[in-house]
Amino acid sequence: MSKKIIIVGASSGIGKELARIFSGHDYIVGITARRFELLSEVAKELSGSSIVKRMDLANPDEAGSLLEELIKEMGGIDIIVISAGIGFLNPDLTWKKEKDTIDVNVTGFAAIANVAMKHFLKQGRGHLVGVSSIAAIRGDSLAPAYSASKAFMSNYLEALRLKALKMRLPIVVTDIQPGFVNTAMAQGDGLFWVASPEKAAEQIFNVIERKQKHAYITRRWRFVAWIYKIIPDWLLAKI
């Protein structure tokens, strides 16, 4: 029997490539995103069975209900990947950009992660994957809400992992923290070690298959993460 996966944010970038990879490994794939027309094009490219559902994390209550509907339509689910999110460079602290980022990356993410985890708790098993960011490690003066929202994601995922551990249930919770990936989210000057979405997705697929609880993507970003964790504020402010 084929395993089943839902990928939230599958219309482009990492989510789109993950849909292709899992479909190629005989998974039944549910794909969601805000842009339905792009989702439909993705579905045409998949080699296996797929179900398409429009979902906008800016409307968290509706998104949660739609995820519940999709889980029922697919008859249960093995893996849910949350790869949707937005981000802006916002040195002028424009409030709309900050609020939009929080609405999607914090409230929207938490709404569907909550639905996913409650389903896995009821089912007694499952695997929840959140695509956070290396930006979760420290605050970013050029994108305050973005880095803070990714820190929220990582901490929320950790809390859900600990909950499953306390309940002694075989539920895996994975926090993926990519560095720069060649998508619309990669903004600004001086980008380095920029991975293609295809390469990033291949490494994420392997992390999910191994049921790891955390990974930096690509793997070389472990070194940058170590630096971020120890660098003093005065030096970080100059970067």
How many Cβ atoms sit within 10 Å of the Cβ of residue 150?
Answer: 28
Render 110-126 in DSSP notation, one character per residue: HHHHHHHHHHHHHHT-E
Phi-psi label, residue 39: left if phi above 0, alpha if psi -120 to 50, beta otherwise: alpha
pLDDT tens column, 43-90 = 999 988 999 999 999 999 999 999 999 999 999 999 999 999 999 999
Does the N-terminal peptide bond of residue 107 adopt cis geometry, omega within 30 degrees of 0? no
- φ, ψ dihedrals at 115, nearest 5°: -60, -45
Q: Which CATH superfamily is domain 4-236 in?
A: NAD(P)-binding Rossmann-like Domain (3.40.50.720)
Please state the pTM of the whole predicted model: 0.93
Distance of CA 179 to the CA centre of its chain: 13
Listed by start position, the domains of the chain span 4-236
Residue 234 has pLDDT above 90, yes or no: no
Q: Reduced to 3 states, what is the DSSP secondary structure of residue 11?
A: coil
Higher-confidence residue of 179 and 119: namely 119
Active site residues: 146
Higher-confidence residue of 49 and 236: namely 49
DSSP 136: G
Higher-confidence residue of 82 and 224: namely 82
pLDDT of residue 38: 93
